[in-house]
Amino acid sequence: MSISQVAKTISESATLALNAKAAILRAKGDPVIHLGGGEPKSKVPVDAILATAGLLNSAEIRYTPVDGTPEMKKAIIRYTEEHYDRSVEPENVIASGGAKQAIMVALQAVVSPQEEVIFPVPYWVSYPEMVKLCQGIPVPAAAEDGTFYPRLQDIEEKVGSYTKAIIINSPNNPCGAMYSEEFIADIVDFCEKRDLYLIMDDIYHRLIYDSLKPINCYKYAHDLSENSKLIVINGVSKQYAMTGYRVGWAVANKKLIEVMTNIQGHQTSGPSVLLQKGAVGAINGIQSGVENLRLTLENNRNIMIDRLNSFEGVKVTKPEGTFYCFPDFSAYNKDSTKLAEFLIDKVQVVTVPGVEFGMEGHLRLSFCGTIKEIQEGIERIKWALDLNSPSELYIGDRKLVRDWI
């Protein structure tokens, strides 16, 4: 089949593919435990439901302005004031089909063919593919010491004359690391000095633990004029458990927002009015659901880390945010794809191979499911890998016998 040069370079989203695989196994009746997921299980906030249903009942579901309804923009402006202590105007804001589209149109607006975009390792699976869709070059930057915490120097070493932008995602998918305030301050300052776009993917900024406080990148910007190249991304998917609403946004300088709007106008014409209505309901509504979710996730994290620490060879770094942890399983298998396949085949536990996030030997495990799923999932993984465990395991009334030693 004849397909475009760009399309040939794009691989399938590993995480979405695993979701599909888990759904097929479940439909067959297999007792699958999905530790690969990327969405909280809590209910959509009632304010969002009422707002969505109210509009739906009117039977008037129309096009909206490409960059978002006036009330959606107002809600984003209010959110930015409340969480970033920053006043922006409607022209500084675009609502998109999820944070994903907001990042994509931002990259399309700034990246020309062969220009480079840098992001720390491990990275969200979509960053390299999004950059490639712009015919740009993705440039992962690993921390020299092999940790999840790059220094400015690790990023700086990758910067060259083709560098156009840097993407920072903190707390980070897949490892849950929250970069230090000092690192954020340094990177903001560095991008200003080097005249680089800085895309701050803050989609998990309220889902952080151990009494940590969200870090506000604007605090460290010297230039907050319309020349600023700082782009802040957020959305309702994670904090309000509204992944299916597909509403996210970007806040940036007016010229850039205008360009992003032009691009989005020819792609999707912007997010659905119905779903923007729901997003506004969530942002302006009662916020206790966010704190409840945060507390639930913190407890889930503690349980998962506790269980993982009982593995002899597994190296775990405690996540400070998100709902993922990213243990190093290389003592068991250095090939994370093979390991993830082995775990699905042998004990029906879905994990995501670390290689998809730029770090081989690791697996991404989500703790956004139930405590039972976390406990049983880790128990099954341990049974499959730790040869000191008994040779039999019961999954419901099904007896598994370990025959791979």
Q: Which residue is nearest to ligand PLP (CB)?
A: 98
Query: Between residues 141 and 393, which has the closer beta carbon with respect to ligand PLP?
Result: 141
CB of 242 to ligand PLP, least distance (A): 9
CB of 169 to ligand PLP, least distance (A): 5
Of 328, 335, 336, nearest to 311 by C-alpha is 328
CB of 328 to ligand PLP, least distance (A): 20
Helix (H, G, I), strand (E, B) or coil at 80: helix
CB of 200 to ligand PLP, least distance (A): 11
CB of 19 to ligand PLP, least distance (A): 11
CB of 261 to ligand PLP, least distance (A): 18
Query: Between residues 11 and 389, which has the closer beta carbon with respect to ligand PLP?
Result: 11
For residue 88, give both structure tokens: 């922006």
Whose tokens are 């205008």? That residue is 258
Please report the sign of the dihedral spanned by the C-alpha atoms of residue 339, residue 373, residue 209, residue 214: positive
Cβ(236)–Cβ(211) under 8 Å? no
Query: Between residues 32 and 106, which has the closer beta carbon with respect to ligand PLP?
Result: 106
The DSSP line for 306-328 is: HHHTT-SS-B----SBTTEE--B
Query: Between residues 304 and 384, which has the closer beta carbon with respect to ligand PLP?
Result: 304
For residue 353, give both structure tokens: 């191979």
Query: Between residues 101 and 253, which has the closer beta carbon with respect to ligand PLP?
Result: 101
Residues at the site binding ligand PLP, with contacts judged by CB under 6 A: 38, 98-100, 124, 169, 173, 201, 203, 235, 237, 243, 248
Query: Between residues 188 and 199, which has the closer beta carbon with respect to ligand PLP?
Result: 199
CB of 400 to ligand PLP, least distance (A): 32
C-alpha dist (Å) from residue 180 to 28, 148, 196, 215, 336: 45, 11, 21, 8, 28
Cβ(120)–Cβ(126) under 8 Å? no
Query: Between residues 92 and 322, which has the closer beta carbon with respect to ligand PLP?
Result: 322
Helix (H, G, I), strand (E, B) or coil at 119: strand
Cβ(365)–Cβ(351) under 8 Å? yes
What is the Cα–Cα distance from 115 to 112, expressed in whole angstroms?
6
